[in-house]
Amino acid sequence: MPKNITALRARSRELTKAHKMSIAGVAALGCCALAVTAAPSEAQSTVPHAAPAAAAQVELGNQPAKQIKASITDQMAASALKAEAIAAKQKAAAAASAKKAAPQQAAAQPQRPVAQRPAQQAASRSAERPQVRQAAPAPKSYANNVDGWIRQSLDIMAQKGIPGSYNGLYRNIMRESSGNPMAINNWDINAQNGIPSKGLLQVIQPTFNAYHVEGTSWNIYDPVANITAACNYAAHRYGSMDNVNSAY
């Protein structure tokens, strides 16, 4: 083989080996650069490859599942509240309508006859009625004679606290006037002085006026007024008409 051909082959092998070494060096430098770029910095926390997959939330569209569930719950609650508000409003409207219609229904309802009303209602009404006052007893009547005049005078004297008895009054009436209410003494000293004694118990006018009993007549000849005034005078002077046995 010629020398020049052997030399060319040897040179060709040398160039090929150099080229291979250059390419290997360039590849090694590229791998180092990629390794530096892909390696995490000290500020970043290293998380296992399985953690992101376990912690990741299931997403529907662009929202997490929890947010979608909360949104649906809020919508259902708002719908329920709205339904309750509508039901309450309808209930209030129905109550107002019933209240408004009640007076009209009551007016339209016919009244029951009095005979059909319950006995309890009739009893309560009769209990509410005021009790009818009983009429005052009729005034006591007295005979228009000496007996009746004495008895009427004694009732008045009892009310006024004037003492005296039937027998004491009767005895003095019979002695002074014999039971004549119009009797008058025109001859004694009183008559001479112009003030004669008058009536059943022969009382002068000044004495009658001074001892007149309220509720009786002011007529000195009235038998009851004459007796009560004379007994009032005798009670003040003698203690009672019962103590008088002569002119007084």
Structural domains in the chain, CATH included, are 146-243 (1.10.530.10)
Radius of gyration of the chain (CA): 71
pLDDT the model gives residue 67:
54
With a cut of 70, say whether residue 156 has pLDDT above it: yes
Quickly state the pLDDT bin for 143 (edges 50, 70, 90): very high
Q: Answer whether residue 214 shows pLDDT above 90.
A: yes
- Quick one: pLDDT at residue 37? 41
Q: Examine the pLDDT at 204 and tell me if it is beyond 50.
A: yes
Q: Check: CB of residue 205 under 8 Å from CB of residue 199.
A: no
Contact 199, 226 (CB under 8 A): yes
CB-based contacts of 142, cutoff 8 Å, min separation 6:
148, 149, 151, 152
CA distance 231 to 241: 6
In sequence order, what DSSP letters do the residues of 182-228 get, joined into one string? T-B--SSHHHHTT---BTTTTB-HHHHHHSPPTTS-S-TT-HHHHHH
Contact between 233 and 211 (Cβ < 8 Å): yes
In this prediction, residue 1 carries a pLDDT of 47
- pLDDT for 84 equals 77
Is the Cβ–Cβ distance between 229 and 223 less than 8 Å? no
More confident residue, 130 or 5: 130
Percent of the chain with pLDDT over 90: 42
Q: What is the largest CA-CA distance in the chain?
A: 225
Pairwise pLDDT comparison (10 vs 131), residue with the higher score: 131
pLDDT at 138: 81
Give me the chain's average pLDDT, please.
74
Report the alpha-carbon distance of residue 62 to residue 226 in Å, rounded.
129
Strands 59-60 and 63-64: antiparallel
| pLDDT value at 248 more than 80 | yes
Region 55-68: what's the mean pLDDT? 46
Burial 123-158 (b: 16+ CB within 10 A, else e): eeeeeeeeeeeeeeeeeeeeeeebeebbebbbebbe
Tokens of 222: 């009235």
Strands (E) located in 12-78:
59-60, 63-64
**What average pLDDT does this structure show over 13-22?**
49
- What pLDDT score was predicted for residue 127? 59
Average pLDDT over residues 221-234: 98
Q: Which residue has the higher pLDDT, 69 or 58?
A: 69
pTM for the predicted model, two decimal places: 0.47
Among 9-23, 25-39, 157-171, the minimum mean pLDDT is found in: 25-39
Tell me which residue of 167, 164, 239, 172 sits closest to 203, measured CA to CA: 172
**pLDDT in the model for residue 132:** 63
Residue 235: which residues within 8 A CB-CB, separation 6 or more?
162, 163, 164, 241
Q: Are 82 and 90 in contact (CB under 8 A)?
A: no
Closest CA to 226 of 190, 191, 195, 201: 201
List pLDDT tens digits, range 72-113.
555 666 676 677 778 888 888 888 777 777 666 666 565 655
Two tokens, residue 18? 């150099």
Bigger pLDDT: 89 vs 57: 89
